[in-house]
Amino acid sequence: MPVTLTPLTNKVIWITGASGGIGEALARELAAAGARLILSARRQAELERVRASLANSTSHLILPLDITDSQAISATVATIAEKIGGLDWLINNAGISQRALIIDTSLETERKLFEVDYFSQINLTRQALPLLLADGGGKVVFVSSVAGLVGTQYRGSYSAAKAALHLWANSLRAELFEQGLTVATIFPGFVKTEVSLNALTGDGKTLGEMDTAQAKAMSATLFAEKALKALLKGKNYIVIGGIKERLGAWVSRLSPELLYKIIRKSQVR
């Protein structure tokens, strides 16, 4: 019986933050589409659980990683080169959110948010570029946020870091287009995950509770379905969310002054 080829058959895709939430949902969609995955996050036990749930589970590689550790990134890239030899896609999904007003947020917490959500992302991407470019190009996907397009209350540093990531991605796309690199940025709105539970408060502690807006949001599975559909169509600017989030992203490009008025009245927690 002939083997059925799926859209990502034989593609090697590295996902960070793959131990839950959006990363786990993306892993399921990508595995079902035929990809061979490299799953990274800090929690090995959770990575094992995710891998066991995937199609063709034994073909996927687990490489635990703290993305803020530059030496660990180098070692992981070297392991991928040794064990697999190449990389087709990199999905930068790992990150941390924020739930604190600017006036209540310490500089140390601000720096931590940027370290995880910006500096670690670009460092990992830069180190992975040789693998991505080795065969004439690859795809880098950044998971930013609608907050990085509009800025909202309680997410000052998070919004800023996600905006910085978006613009760095734009520069990367322009610089390496001729070498065949494709760069896509996804801007999620509210997605029902544990992101608010793990979000940092002003003093750097975790919030430990679910936001009302988060609890009512779209599922991570639906988000992943929409994200993969857009990526396979070759889209590079991908906003996924409810009507309010998509409207906010649209207004941010057409009328910043109107956006500011909308944001002040929006429920973001």
Does residue 269 fall inside a structural domain? no
Does residue 3 fall inside a structural domain? no
Does residue 145 fall inside a structural domain? yes
The pLDDT value recorded for residue 2 is: 45
Measured distance CA(245)–CA(25) in Å, rounded: 20
Measured distance CA(131)–CA(226) in Å, rounded: 27
**In 10 A of CB 255, how many CB atoms?**
12
Q: What is the CA radius of gyration of the chain?
A: 18
Domain CATH code at residue 182: 3.40.50.720
* Owner of token pair 């857009």: 230
Does residue 219 fall inside a structural domain? yes
Residue ranges making up the domain that contains 117: 12-264
Does residue 1 fall inside a structural domain? no
Q: Which of 118, 154, 158, 260 is catalytic?
A: 158
DSSP string, 56-72: TGGG-EE----TT-HHH
Does residue 193 fall inside a structural domain? yes
CB 223 within 8 A of CB 191: yes
Catalytic residue list contains 158: yes
Q: Tens-digit pLDDT profile for the chain (269 aa)?
A: 444 557 899 899 999 999 999 999 999 999 999 999 999 999 999 999 999 999 999 999 999 999 999 999 999 999 999 999 999 999 999 999 999 999 999 999 999 999 999 999 999 999 999 999 997 889 999 999 999 999 989 999 999 999 999 999 999 999 999 999 999 999 999 999 989 899 999 999 999 998 887 788 899 999 999 999 999 999 999 999 987 888 877 887 777 777 767 777 776 76
SS3 call for 142: strand
Does residue 228 fall inside a structural domain? yes
SS3 call for 244: helix
Domain total of the chain: 1
SS3 call for 185: strand
Does residue 45 fall inside a structural domain? yes
CB 266 within 8 A of CB 208: no
